């Protein structure tokens, strides 16, 4: 029984630490998104999430919590993909200013800005969750 209590206490502390790290990282990502000006494409980091996945610590959370966290981080990864595409299009347009590269640049910029807004909203909604807002 004492072993179970020790395990429960250790898992509870690990869960609190994990949730705190995720909340901190999501706040940082949201701030980077909100502060980025037009035509600025910040790369978004998700090291705490990757670490939690690699260590298997996500199993300390409920299935519902994991699903919500995973969906937000998928959106963050999508935003990073859009960042790379927008940066490439911007560089191509700056090298060779013609209507084709300009069209591509504006298309990629609009895609990124749309994804950026969606990502910021998803992060805000997740950070408002009671189990995460205590740590944010």
**DSSP state string for the chain:** -HHHHHHHHHHHHHHHHHHHHHHHHHHHHHHHHHHPPTT-------HHHHHHHHHTGGGGS-HHHHHHHHHHHHHHHHHHHHHHHHHHHHHHHHHS-SHHHHHHHHHHHHHHHHHHHHHHHHHHHHHTSHHHHTT-
Would you place residue 36 in the very low, low, confident or very high pLDDT band (cuts 50, 70, 90)?
confident
8-30 residue pLDDT tens: 788 789 899 999 999 999 999 99
72-93 residue pLDDT tens: 999 999 999 999 999 999 999 9
Task: Tell me how far the alpha carbon of residue 130 is from its chain's centroid.
Answer: 19
Is the pLDDT at 2 greater than 90? The verdict is no
State the number of CA atoms in the 13 A half-sphere of 15 facing the CB. 15
Q: What percent of the chain has pLDDT over 70?
A: 99
94-115 residue pLDDT tens: 999 999 999 999 999 999 999 9
Our count of domains for the chain comes to 1
Gap between the Cα atoms of 92 and 106, Å rounded: 12
Residue 117 sits in which domain range?
Answer: 2-133
pLDDT value, residue 123: 97
Q: Over range 41-67, report the average pLDDT.
A: 92
Would you place residue 135 in the very low, low, confident or very high pLDDT band (cuts 50, 70, 90)?
confident
């Amino acid at each position: 029984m004492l072993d179970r209590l020790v395990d429960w206490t250790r898992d509870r502390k690990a869960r609190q630490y994990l949730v705190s790290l995720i909340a901190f990282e999501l706040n940082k990502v949201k701030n980077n998104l909100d502060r980025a000006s037009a035509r600025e494409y910040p790369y978004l980091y998700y090291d705490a999430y990757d670490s939690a996945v690699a260590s298997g610590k996500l199993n300390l959370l409920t299935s519902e919590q994991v699903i919500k966290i995973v969906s937000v981080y998928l959106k963050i990864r999508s935003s990073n993909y859009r960042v790379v595409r927008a940066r490439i299009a911007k560089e191509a347009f700056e090298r060779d200013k013609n209507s084709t590269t300009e069209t591509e640049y504006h298309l990629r910029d609009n895609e990124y800005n749309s994804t950026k807004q969606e990502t910021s909203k998803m992060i805000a909604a997740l950070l408002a969750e009671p189990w995460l807002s205590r740590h944010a």
